[in-house]
Amino acid sequence: KHRRMMAPDITARKGGDPIVALTSYHAHTAAIADNHCDFLLVGDSLGMVMHGYESTVPVPLDLMIMHGRAVVRGSKRSLVVIDMPFGTYEESPPVAFRNAARVMKETDCGAVKLEGGRRMAETVRYLVDRGIPVMAHIGLTPQSVNVLGGFKTQGQRVDQWAAIEEDARLVAEAGAFAVVLEAMAAPLAERITQAIPIPTIGIGASPGCDGQILVMEDMLGLSPNVPKFVKLFGAIGGAIDSAIGAYAAEVRARTFPAPEHTYSVKGEGGPADPA
Ligand code: KIV
Ligand code: NA
């Protein structure tokens, strides 16, 4: 019955009911999140969460495509947005188009996301004009960690606000359908939300944003270290630890597998059934 959400459906929610989003990297959790979310982001944070990299900088495009396909297959109604990883879009609008078109053709996702405000405005326009919906991402942009010198909160000094607000205006004018505001002072996020015509999606921003996103593994309680802005809505790490501990104990005690988990021999000629 439900057709899949598309980028304009997200834009239409500006100023309305909050937009609910999570990252998603794999099919079975995508199917669960799909029951609750408006869009699923295949974030390049998957490099850190799923593959153990220290930052998102090393993530290859092929990895985004593999996980993107899994999330599209696993979901039915949420818009699927896929992050363009570092090095695949910054060089020029045509390079960005070539790589983003590959992502869309090979995954069947509905939009891409890229990091940057004014520096990416021309690229956002180029992609949108050629059929690729773009979500922008400003404030803390983790792909620039090596320039920033760490994952640092943005806009905690008021003299930094004008430049960040200008980033938001320029990506909105360039045709972005929504913009992620990451790790920035709450009053700045509210101000940007009031100032621009497209939805703001906060992560470590403000409840005043038009929507919220978190990394799924962080909010489930699976990630070992999480930023201040993450609330633990679950304790999945502890649940996995007890389940695996119980399994290990039963294997060592030879109580697993029990008879109901084993197969009997059919027909003649096998060893006698001990029961
Ligand atoms: O990669 C990611 O998970 C993201 C979100 C946190 C916005 O870009
Ligand atoms: Na990202």
What are the boundaries of each domain within the chain? 7-219
CATH 3.20.20.60 fits domain 7-219: yes
- Please determine, for residue 245, whether its predicted confidence score (pLDDT) is greater than 60: yes
Question: Binding site annotation covers 44?
Answer: yes
CA distance 120 to 136: 9
Evaluate if residue 231 carries a pLDDT over 90: yes
pLDDT, residue 269, reads 74
Residue 240 CA to ligand 1 centre (angstroms): 24
pLDDT score, position 267: 84
Complex ipTM, two decimals? Answer: 0.99
For residue range 80-135, what is the model confidence (pLDDT) as tens digits?
A: 999 999 999 999 999 999 999 999 999 999 999 999 999 999 999 999 999 999 99
CA of 157 to the centre of ligand 2 (A): 24
Residue 257 CA, ligand 2 centroid: distance in Å: 42
Encode pLDDT of 169-193 as tens digits.
Answer: 999 999 999 999 999 999 999 999 9
Give pLDDT, residue 216: 98
Tell me how far apart the alpha carbons of residues 261 and 180 are, in angstroms, rounded to a whole number. 48
pLDDT of residue 268: 78
Q: Is 213 in the pocket of ligand 1 (CB under 6 A)?
A: yes
- Nearest atom, ligand 1, residue 44 CA: 1
Name the DSSP class of 45: T
Residue nearest to atom 8 of ligand 1 (CA): 43
23 close to ligand 1 (CB < 6 Angstrom): yes
Instruction: Report phi then psi at 263, rounded to 5.
Output: -105, 140
pTM of the predicted structure, to 2 decimals:
0.96
228 three-class SS: coil
Using CA atoms in the order 148, 146, 114, 215, what is the torsion angle rounded to 10 degrees?
-90
Q: Name the closest-CA residue to atom 1, ligand 1.
A: 43
Which of 168, 160, 154, 161 has the alpha carbon at shortest distance from 120? 168
- Average per-residue pLDDT in the chain? 96
Question: Residues near 63 by Cβ (< 8 Å), separated by ≥ 6?
Answer: 46, 47, 51, 85
CA atoms within 13 Å, Cβ hemisphere of 86: 15
Which pLDDT score, from 0 to 100, does residue 192 have? Answer: 98
Q: Is 83 in the pocket of ligand 1 (CB under 6 A)?
A: yes
pLDDT digits (tens, 9 = 90+) for 63-74: 999 999 999 999
pLDDT digits (tens, 9 = 90+) for 140-174: 999 999 999 999 999 999 999 999 999 999 999 99
Q: Which one of 203, 212, 217 would you pick to mutate in the ligand 1 pocket, going by the greatest count of ligand atoms within 8 A of its CB? A: 203
